[in-house]
Structure formats: structure tokens, C-alpha cells
Amino acid sequence: METPSPSKSGFVAIIGAPNVGKSTLLNQLLGQKIAITSQKPQTTRHRILGVAHLPGAQLVFLDTPGIHQAKGPLNRRIVEVALKVLGDVDIVVFITNAASPENSSDEIVLESLKKGNLPVILAINKVDLVKKAELLSLIGRWHEAYPFKAIVPISALQRIQIDELVAEMVAVLPEGPQYYPEDSVTDMSERFIAAEMIREKVFRLTSQEIPYGVAVTVESFKKRPEKSLIDIQATIHVEREAQKPIIIGKAGSMLRRIGKQARMDIERMVGCKVFLKLWVRVQKNWTHDTSAIKRFGY
């Protein structure tokens, strides 16, 4: 009788500077969207867990906020969340941006990695945006900077070499039990993901300075199975009076756009119709108020 192959499993931290594509990579690894993304840095504020089920292996990913030289209570808290993950994982996937190789935040990440002895795989993202000679030079520089288990050039957005990256992770994954059932994709609640999807639309649709002063709370999340409907009521919190009319827009136009796009994403997640009602409320200077930061879940 043939002996079955041992099962592999482990926790994998996805870390890197802001806006290098960590959340885009997580969504690609899972084959569905659970982490929000935008072109603006510091979109991710929480540790997001995602589970990938492979033949003979289970990878539990922890997507983290961007590590940077933080200023202000909120950003310091966000970086603390990212660095804390390094004490709870088996493997680290460090993502850097091939199109922006001179990133001082990469050095902060590297110094944090040097303090531990975890196996680290370097994923050089956005390789579709650079020439081959530039990429080869970049690989050489990173090879000298740190003893990575592997260096894999990828494009998370274009899904270039994602399977190769997964293979490198599985190669260093320890033997272990399956931590999550086969049908599990995340430990995040639908309520939490809905709030994040609303915040993502604020990041994507409003001007540069607005999103960083925004938090979203879901006040009500009621499933109405008799109508195949979920009724969601949520509040977008801003920190200055001047931000409120920008979020609302002329005659409510911006708030409707935010609500429509968020509702479509939430409906794809929950698989049924959603009624979404949004309010905008001013919580003055909440990003500098430690009690408000905690109240909003950071």
C-alpha cells in the first residue's frame, strides 16, 4: 500500500513598502477579491488573512499594511500591525516594486527582516513595466543585499509568474495540519469586508488628500433571506468639516458613485442583492486621537 505524502501548511506574511502590490497579489493568490486596492499608498490598514488550498498544502497568507517611516498615531499603529505579523509566520514574501527600485521604505523592511531568521522569498513586482536589462540589474542588487530563499520576478496585476512564486513558497513550507476547512477563504467577516469595500471606493474616487482622513463603520448588516437581500447601513467618517461636502458631492453625486460601486463589489462577494445606505459624519482629527483610532478598529 502506497504511503500518502505528508501534508504541508503554514502562515505566510506578505510584506513590503506602501503601494507595491501586496493586496493585488493576495487577491490573485486566492482567485477572488478579499483585500481592497487602489493607486494610493497606505490603502491597507489591517492585517488581512486569506487561505489558499492546494493539493497537499495549505497556505495561510497574512497581507499587511505598507511598512514606511510613519508619522502620526494612525500610521504608527498601521506599521506596528505589519511588523507584528513577522512573529507569527513560517515564511515571509517580501514584495518590492521593479518600477520604483530606489524606495527608502524597502530599507526599513530589510532591516526588520535582518533581525529574524525566517525564510524570505523576494517577489519583484510590476516587472511588466521595466526592461529586461533593468530587471537583471535589480535582481543582482537584491541578491547581494540579503540571502533570500528565492527571488521571483512577477506581475501581480498581469498574473505573471504567480504559479512560480507559489511553488517557491510550497518548497519551504513545513509539514503541518490543515488550519482551515477546505471551504474557508478568510477569517474576515462579510461585515468587515463590506466596510473595506466602501473605503476602497473613497480612495479610488476622491482627491489625493481626502482618503487618509476617512474611516468606515457598518452600523447595520441585516440579512433578509425571504427577499434574497442584505440591508447594509454604513457611515463614512471624515476628520474635517471641509471633507464632508467633497465626499457627498454636488446634490449627493459623489456619495451615490461611492455607494453604487461599493454595492456592486459587495453583491459579488455575498451572491445576492444588497441595499446600501451611506451617511457621512465628521469626527474631528480622529487620525490623531488614539481613542477614536481604537474605536474605528485600528
Considering the chain, what percentage of its residues have pLDDT values greater than 70?
Answer: 97
37: pLDDT strictly greater than 80: yes
- Domains of the chain plus CATH, in order, are 8-172 (3.40.50.300), 190-295 (3.30.300.20)
Considering the chain, what percentage of its residues have pLDDT values greater than 90?
Answer: 67
What are the cell numbers at 58?
495549505
Higher pLDDT, 73 or 266: 266
Up-side HSE of residue 23: CA atoms within 13 Å toward CB? 24
Average pLDDT for residues 75-104, to the nearest whole number? 87
pLDDT at position 81 is: 80
Q: How confident is the model at residue 85 (pLDDT cuts 50, 70, 90)?
A: confident
Least confident among 72-81, 145-154, 188-197, 231-240 = 72-81
2: pLDDT strictly greater than 70: no
User: How far from the centroid of its chain's Cα atoms is residue 86's Cα?
Assistant: 16
Q: SS3 of 106, please? A: helix
5: pLDDT strictly greater than 70: no
Q: How confident is the model at residue 68 (pLDDT cuts 50, 70, 90)?
A: confident
Higher pLDDT, 280 or 82: 280
pLDDT at position 297 is: 83
pTM score: 0.85
Burial class (CB in 10 A: 0-12, 13-18, 19+), 266: buried
pLDDT at position 78 is: 78
pLDDT at position 142 is: 95
Distance CA 216, CA 197 (A): 9
Q: How confident is the model at residue 6 (pLDDT cuts 50, 70, 90)?
A: low
**What is the chain's mean pLDDT, rounded?**
91
Burial class (CB in 10 A: 0-12, 13-18, 19+), 219: exposed
Contacts 24+ apart (CB under 8 A), 252-259: 254/205, 254/206, 255/280, 257/201, 257/205, 258/198, 258/201, 258/202, 258/205, 259/198
1: pLDDT strictly greater than 50: no
What are the cell numbers at 237?
467618517
Higher pLDDT, 39 or 99: 99
pLDDT at position 258 is: 97
pLDDT at position 4 is: 46
What are the cell numbers at 76?
504608527
Least confident among 93-107, 185-199, 262-276 = 93-107
Pairing of strands 120-125, 57-63: unpaired
3: pLDDT strictly greater than 70: no
130: pLDDT strictly greater than 90: yes
290: pLDDT strictly greater than 90: no
